[in-house]
Structure 1
Amino acid sequence: MRIFLSFVAIQFILGTVAIADGFERPIPQAQSATAEFWYALACVALVIAMIAVQRLVARR
């Protein structure tokens, strides 16, 4: 038990001495041409799917 308590005490002392770095905001990366192509393709596919659903619902 003494070993455990001494270990906890050492960890507490060493933990309080450490100084945290300040928060650095992440810098967003630019989108690649490939990502823009796939995003545009997904948008077109979504519009086509929405038109298909609208026509299917309008028939009933």
Structure 2
Amino acid sequence: MEDASLTFKTISCAFTVHNALGHGFLEKVYENALRIELENAGFHVQPQAPISVTYAGKVV
């Protein structure tokens, strides 16, 4: 799948969640809803996957 298509599908899922839930919930609610929407769209999702970030040669 092309990057533009992946981007479009991802943003569409985010807008679907936003339109359905509106604003005012805790971040975790939106995270869970977006995970469901992305999985329904055929994506494999790893919520809050650990990453390593370095700054000036040191892990932050």
Query: Shorter-chain TM-score: which interval?
Result: 0.3 to 0.5
Q: TM-score, normalised by structure 2?
A: 0.35
Q: TM-score, normalised by structure 1?
A: 0.35
Q: Which has the larger radius of gyration?
A: 1
Which one has the bigger strand percentage?
A: 2
Indicate the structure whose relative CO is greater, using CA pairs within 8 Å and at least 6 residues apart: 2
